[in-house]
Amino acid sequence: MAIKILPPEIQNQIAAGEVIERPANVLKELVENSLDAKSTFIEVTIKKGGLELIEVIDNGSGIPESELELALTRHATSKITNFNDLLSIATYGFRGEALPSIASVSRLTLQSKPKTQELGFKLEVEFGQTLSKRPVPMSFGTQVKVEQIFSNVPARLKFLKTPSTEKKRCWQLFFKQSLPHSEVEFKFITDNQEQIHFYAHETLLARLQKIWPNSIVSNLIEIDFQYKDIKLSGYTSKPESIQARGDRILLYVNKRPVQDKLILSAIRKAYEGKILRNEFPQVILFIDLPPELVDVNVHPSKAEVKFAQEEQVFTAIKKAIEKSIDNFSISIPNVVYSTNQSYSTSSSTIPASTPTPFVSLKSDNTQLQSIVAEAETPYTTFTADQHASDFVYLGQIDNSYLLLKIKNNFLLLDQHAAHERILFEQFKKRAFERKNLLFTFKLQLSSEEIQTLDILWKYFYELGFGLSFKQKKLLEIKAIPSVFSMEQAKNFLKDILAKGLNNYEDLLKLAACKASIKANSPLTPDEALTLISQWQKTPHKEFCPHGRPTFIVLNKSLLDPIFKRNK
């Protein structure tokens, strides 16, 4: 079969298949053209999800009458002139494919007027064929009307969803495009009803309040961070304000909406240890960097980008979000112990021993009991020092949670999560001594478990384990970390080897989990206050190593909805 050049109408339809899959793609291209034309007003109208009509009106620079036909020619653009321009693209559109591609699969009307012309000119095109061109009175700017999309390509229509679904996609595209441009007024009209109106010079938060629930917007933390040539701004959510889906993560590179695995990975890393693996924060992140450091030409619809310095970008995002979260961490007052009163059953507070270094809270807790017994005043009153804090321990709930009073609020502390964080940080510092066993114990290992052990051998040694092989597959444990009981150490080793973990931090998390006090474990006031005291001195105490919160504050904003108080 002979090689031949395809007819222009087929070329345009192929190009349309690359960049125009549905009405939302048409909307994206037209809005981007309006933004590139320096418009300060953009109005979008759709009907039947864009299947019947997509219209974009702007007050931008307009297209001269002499260039109207050229605007509908493939690879004709005003946005690049040479190869070097491709290396530092600062506009949204630049390939010159969008308008001819759209025109090839729709009935398109293009009318435009620059400020230098007395009249505008209107061009009508039907499925790639120009029907007419004539002068029209109009304000300066451009109006593009796209009707009956894909009606000449029925095979494409069957891949589209219902009008309501296509409408939702158009709406999502519209607000994503509008958020970075506070200087522009945007309107969105669907089926003759105005859905949203973003006014010029609105703050980003004001626009977010129009599209996201107030419960989410009120928990956003500002991002403002500079790292070398990379400027980061936007908002991210407090760790306690998370959701099970990642559909409220909006990413922008030089104001261009993007989808990027590197950025998402950096965000997840910043929240590591603060949220669970199946949870997602709400984020709107603007990344601004020199155009030559990012390639936006790696995807036909320009939804993906490639960074010249990926490691720097990753570090910048991680540091920016970590800094924002750390700046808004809840401040926990220090526990103050007072010994000026004797404990009595009528006291409003719970008895506590003098603070001591934290010890493992095991069921036999002999060490702690002996410390308490040797204290000069076995029971003293734990009260708030009015000059230091209003922090009072009130007791244990369901043998799992410790209730504390902080000024006018109450704090509920998860004893297991708090103890996990304490032990995890101590494991990281290798703060535990090795405990030699008088009677060793043995584990029979499989071939797979031996392979895992070989990888983790040095980590086990650093934790405080003394291991050796008695026989080929028989592991002998001669020493364990002092924080473990023998049973806990055995269960820990079995779990690690069975799960095949090979990440040191994951290993430490599991060690902390196995050695920490569990829920449904009663604590004496002495044990509870020792736990609280050590928890307060621990870094990153707001979350357990797995990302669960260690506490909640029972304040008015939390309690009002429970009691159905709307005000």
Query: How many Cα atoms occupy the beta-carbon half-sphere of 176 within 13 Å?
Result: 24
Q: Which CATH number fits domain 332-567: 3.30.1540.20, 3.60.15.30, 2.60.120.10, 1.10.357.10?
A: 3.30.1540.20
Token pair recorded at residue 332: 């926990």
pLDDT of residue 246: 85
pLDDT of residue 300: 54
Bridge partners (DSSP) listed for residue 469: 475
Under 8 Å CB-to-CB from 158, ≥6 apart: which residues? Answer: none
| Burial tier of 394 (Cβ tally within 10 Å: 0-12, 13-18, 19+) | middle
Interatomic CA distance for residues 163 and 47, integer angstroms: 9
Interatomic CA distance for residues 92 and 181, integer angstroms: 13
Q: Which of 57, 60, 93 is nearest to 78 (CA)?
A: 93
CATH fold, domain 212-327, is Ribosomal Protein S5; domain 2 (3.30.230)
Q: Which of 44, 47, 73, 42 is nearest to 59 (CA)?
A: 42
Interatomic CA distance for residues 436 and 349, integer angstroms: 41
pLDDT of residue 554: 86
Query: How many Cα atoms occupy the beta-carbon half-sphere of 197 within 13 Å?
Result: 3
DSSP element (H, E) containing 369: helix 366-374
For the chain, the domains span 8-198, 212-327, 332-567
Token pair recorded at residue 450: 């031996």
Per-residue pLDDT tens digits for 213-265: 988 998 899 999 999 999 999 999 988 788 888 889 999 999 999 989 999 99
Q: Return the CATH architecture of domain 8-198.
A: 2-Layer Sandwich (3.30)
Type of residue numbered 458: K
Q: What is the 3-state secondary structure (H, E, C) of 162-179?
A: CHHHHHHHHHHHHHHHHC
Q: Which residues of 18-50 are buried (b: 16+ CB within 10 A; e: fewer)?
A: ebbbbbbbbbbbbbbbbbbbebeebbbbbbebb
Per-residue pLDDT tens digits for 189-200: 999 999 999 999
pLDDT of residue 183: 95
Under 8 Å CB-to-CB from 432, ≥6 apart: which residues? Answer: 426, 463, 464, 481, 482, 483
pLDDT of residue 73: 82
Interatomic CA distance for residues 537 and 483, integer angstroms: 18
The answer to whether 465 and 489 have CB atoms below 8 angstroms apart is yes
The count of residues in the chain is 567
Residues (pLDDT < 70) of the chain are 1-19, 74-96, 297-303, 329-391, 431, 566-567
Under 8 Å CB-to-CB from 242, ≥6 apart: which residues? Answer: 275, 279, 280, 281, 282
> Which residue carries 């506590």 as its tokens?
352
- CA–CA–CA angle 238, 244, 248 (5° rounding): 65
Q: Are strands 141-147 and 107-113 parallel, antiparallel or unpaired?
A: antiparallel
User: Given strand 283-288, what is the order of strands in its sheet?
Assistant: 220-227, 230-237, 283-288, 249-253, 256-258
